């Protein structure tokens, strides 16, 4: 098993403990923020990660994928105001999420490290940012989430779509979500609450199944 001094990638604390093990990697539990994470020394390379994403069947013509993203969009839209601008961060191989919002008259930029690396986003400001099945992939979650937080306008929102870890060891051992080797950490509500506090945001508020929102304060 991995050493109990593995640093938590969210709160950067070393008060962690061995939690579980798969044939290819270990999982640690942070006693401060309750994040379950893979030690960073055991992550696959970026090139191998990209190869795995290339096999994803997320195609704009796939009706199931369109329906999946549309359900997320329909949960988010009622929380927005006319004219607000957004960012789909970690959009993957398509700009489908952005297209769905554009049909509702919302301007949404798309960014993905591998497929749409548009660096101009870092000089913009947004009313909302969407991370759909993204936060569990981030190698440096606190660092990256703080960078995204800095892109928000007052009262801006971050929408996070992810499956929370069940908090039950026997369930986790057989949990399908941890089998994806590109999933490198798993949040609980406490983890999201810790993240919100560190970002000076409120939340998490549950919008729908596995969809949460953090909200920035007004100025």
Q: Summarize pLDDT for 61-92 with one digit per residue, the tens.
A: 788 899 999 999 999 999 999 999 999 999 99
Output the pTM of the full model: 0.95
Angle at 155 between CA 152 and CA 158, to 5 degrees: 55
For residues 180-202, give the mean pLDDT: 97
Please enumerate, as own/partner, the contacts of 197-202 that have beta carbons within 8 Å and a separation of 24 or more: 198/11, 198/142, 198/146, 199/145, 199/146, 199/149, 199/158, 200/149, 201/149, 201/158
CB-CB contact of 28 with 17 (8 Å) = yes
Is residue 191 over pLDDT 80? yes
Q: Determine the pLDDT at residue 218.
A: 80
Is residue 2 over pLDDT 50? no
Q: Which CATH superfamily is domain 16-216 in?
A: Vaccinia Virus protein VP39 (3.40.50.150)
For residues 87-105, give the mean pLDDT: 96
Q: Determine the pLDDT at residue 166.
A: 85
**Domain residue spans in the chain?**
16-216
Q: Distance between CA 80 and CA 83 in Å, rounded?
A: 9
């Amino acid at each position: 098993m991995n050493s109990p001094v593995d640093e938590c990638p969210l709160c950067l604390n070393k008060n962690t403990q061995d939690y579980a093990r798969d044939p290819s990697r270990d999982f640690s539990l942070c006693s401060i923020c309750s994040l379950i994470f893979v030690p960073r020394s055991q992550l696959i390379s970026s090139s191998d990660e990209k190869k795995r994403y290339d096999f994803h069947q997320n195609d704009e013509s796939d009706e199931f994928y369109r329906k999946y993203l549309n359900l997320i969009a329909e949960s988010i839209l009622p929380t927005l105001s006319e004219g607000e601008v957004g960012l789909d961060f970690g959009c993957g191989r398509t700009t489908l999420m952005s297209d769905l919002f554009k049909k509702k008259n919302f301007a949404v930029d798309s960014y993905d490290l591998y497929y749409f690396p548009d660096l101009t986003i870092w000089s913009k400001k947004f009313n909302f940012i969407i991370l759909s099945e993204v936060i569990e992939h981030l190698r440096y979650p606190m660092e990256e989430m703080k960078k995204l937080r800095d892109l928000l306008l007052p009262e801006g929102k971050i929408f996070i779509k992810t499956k929370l870890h069940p908090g039950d060891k026997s369930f986790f051992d057989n949990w399908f979500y941890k089998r994806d080797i590109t999933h490198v950490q798993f949040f609980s509500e406490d983890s999201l609450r810790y993240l919100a506090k560190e970002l000076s945001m409120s939340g998490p508020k549950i919008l729908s199944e596995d969809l949460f929102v953090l909200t920035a304060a007004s100025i």
